[in-house]
Amino acid sequence: MTLGPLMLDIEGTELTAEDRELIAHPTVGGIILFTRNYESPEQVTQLVDDIHALRDPHVLVAVDQEGGRVQRFRDGFTRLPPLSCLGALYGTDKTRAKHLAQTMGWLMAAEVRALGVDLSFAPVLDLDYGVSKIIGDRALHQRPESVAELAHAYQTGMHEAGMAATGKHFPGHGAVAADSHLDLPIDPRPYEDIAQWDMVPFERMIHYGLAAVMMAHIVYSEVDANPAGFSRYWVKAVLRDTLGFQGLVFSDDLSMEGAAVAGDHVARAGLSLEAGCDMVLVCNDRDNAVAVAESLEGYSNPVSHTRIARMHGHAAPGLDELRQNPRWVQAVAAVQRCEAEPELDLDL
């Protein structure tokens, strides 16, 4: 059985009968976990094993484990600083910053893979313009070349831990103040400005072997009337044709307010896939997730099937074995020296 184009969530710390039935649906290809799904490393390991056992090949299991405000798994895990700490260090010591970026990418991915989770949606490739609260210290740096260098090192670490990287949010979320979870942001800049700044990290990371991209729920009004994740222009003409990206394209969560302009959830999923996305996310809305799953019956895209399958995590040691690894001990000490301001988790 191939994996379908829909990623959705579950409510609790173990699977219900309804969860199992829905995960077995042929249009489902992934599950995303949130803080509410986590009690302990042992519990999540069992949960992931149960999810994986329902399908062959198994559905993807994903999480947002960037660090800082966006870290779903905390108790029993290394507390990760926001990625902006790497940008701050980069300003004084580029070599050390890139080494730490690789270390952080490895540590994040190694701990997540130790539980069997296939991927974390990271790294953020948005630029820090100082205007977006939802991006803020999640961004690596304000300069595109610096973001690309740090992200490349971070991706190298992820790959060493057996995880593919996902760059977000294409073509760039950092220049708008509005939060697409709550509103539809409008970016009025011309294409040339976006291409010369925000798209540079994506372009360079594509050359570095970036496996996946997540689209932004933003309207770039001088370029296209549709939000980027529903735009054939942004996905096919720019990302695929101009930048030559051949990896997996994720939508952002279709339950976000920034996606509402595309209609109901069924319409949103259809428009996103038509625009060129390979996998769509529907989170925190079970009724609409079911409606989308049913609406996509019969949908098939062999190229997308292959791209989805390539996102499976590679073999990795369990958490106990990982903690005996001197590299893990050194990595934990290194990231703990990277100062971070304590902020509330964004479980969005």
Q: What does the alpha-carbon distance between residue 23 and residue 87 come to, in Å, rounded to a whole number? A: 39
Instruction: Identify whether 118 is a catalytic site residue.
Output: no
Catalytic-role residue among 181, 193, 285, 305:
181
Cβ neighbors of 242 (< 8 A, separation 6 or more) are: none
CA distances from 283 to 15, 63, 69, 131, 170 (A): 16, 12, 19, 26, 20
Q: Are 169 and 198 in contact (CB under 8 A)?
A: no
Cβ neighbors of 343 (< 8 A, separation 6 or more) are: 68, 69, 82, 137
Token pair of 69, please? Answer: 């405000």
Helices 94-113 & 144-160 angle (0-180, nearest 10):
40
Catalytic-role residue among 64, 126, 252, 278:
252
Instruction: Identify whether 264 is a catalytic site residue.
Output: no
Residue 311 falls in which region: left (phi positive, over 0), alpha (psi -120 to 50) or beta:
alpha
Q: Are 123 and 205 in contact (CB under 8 A)?
A: no
Place of tokens 């770039």: 220
The number of beta carbons lying within 10 Å of the beta carbon of residue 130 is 12
Q: Are 62 and 33 in contact (CB under 8 A)?
A: yes
DSSP 314-343: PP---HHHHHTSHHHHHHHHHHHTS-----
Amino acid at 195: A
Write 127-133 long-range contacts (CB < 8 A, 24+). 127/172, 127/174, 127/175, 127/197, 127/198, 127/201, 128/84, 128/87, 128/174, 129/174, 129/175, 131/174, 131/175, 131/176, 131/177, 132/173, 132/174, 132/175, 132/176, 132/177, 132/179, 133/177, 133/179
Q: Tell me which residues are annotated as active site.
A: 181, 252
